[in-house]
Amino acid sequence: SDLTEEGNEVLNGADPKLVIRRGQPFNIKIPFNRKYDTKQDDLRLVFEFGKEAKETNGSKVEFILSDKDIAGEWGAKIDNASGNSLTVTVFTPPDCYVGKWK
| DSSP assignments along 40-93, one per residue | T---EEEEEBSTT--GGGTSEEEEE--S---TTS-EEEEEEEETTEEEEEEE--
The larger pLDDT score, comparing residue 65 to residue 29, is at 29
If one counts every other C-beta atom within 10 angstroms of the C-beta of residue 73, the result is 13
pLDDT of residue 2: 43
pTM to 2 decimal places: 0.74
Region 46-52: mean pLDDT is 87
pLDDT for residue 34: 93
pLDDT band at 9 (very low <50, low <70, confident <90, very high): very low
Confidence of residue 12 (pLDDT cuts 50, 70, 90): low
